[in-house]
Amino acid sequence: MAIKVKIINQLEDNYSYVIFCDEEKKAVILDPAESKPILDFLLSNNLSLKGILITHHHSDHTQGIGSIIKNFNVNVYSPNKNIAFTTDLINEKKNIDLGFLDFEIIHTPGHTLDHVIYYNKKEKLLFSGDTLFVYGCGRVFEGTYEEMFKSLNKLKNLPIDTKIYCGHEYTKKNLEFCLEYDSNNEFLKKKSDWINSKIESKSPTIPTSIGEEKETNIFLRCNELSVKNALHLNNASEQEIFSKLRDLKDSF
């Protein structure tokens, strides 16, 4: 049984996802912001919706829920009871079994206090919302830098071939920031032309992988001496390096 992921462009730079199985004609949606392109895909592929998964409460990840459940009466799994239409409140380490697919919940506070990500070990899929981006991480709005740092470290320990599907197309700007403070990173240099060609053709730069992010994402490389040297913080802790990088990225 093959599991597929359809990337659905949303709003200006958001991504929603339809995770589905053609053989069983079953699907689940993650973080719907605009319902029409999602519903069009479900209907054109004759897919039966089995649930809606939400990573956090920001409206650009939730505002499409209402229109979807008018068409499909399904459960809405979210980490916050204040998210409209939530039927199932989820938390760390809880598993969601959707019949054709299951997910482990990992709590990743930082961007928001309620943020969770969805991980499927068998298919090696990770839906990271606004915690981890290609070459970047989310802004810290509600949590602390320490919480975000710990959240990212949870993800570093997942298998390196885990595919990452994030919540926004921020890759080009993130690449530029990483190169600013990790300028000798050969992995980043090699990806630059490919990323630029994707952006020019308006194609997604996702998925990435845990392995690639560990080689390229400066927020996962706070222990690297080259990064510490670039910041002139040779004796700083990894968390101090992360906090400095997050401050720099906020004004980049």
Q: How many C-beta neighbours within 10 Å does residue 42 have? A: 21
Active-site amino acid positions: 56, 58, 60-61, 111, 130, 168
Cα–Cα nearest to 93, from 65, 122, 58, 119: 119
3-state SS of 151-178?
HHHHHHCCCCCCEEEECECCHHHHHHHH
**What is the phi-psi region of residue 46: left when phi exceeds 0, alpha when psi lies from -120 to 50, beta otherwise?**
left
Cα–Cα nearest to 104, from 81, 79, 87, 121: 121
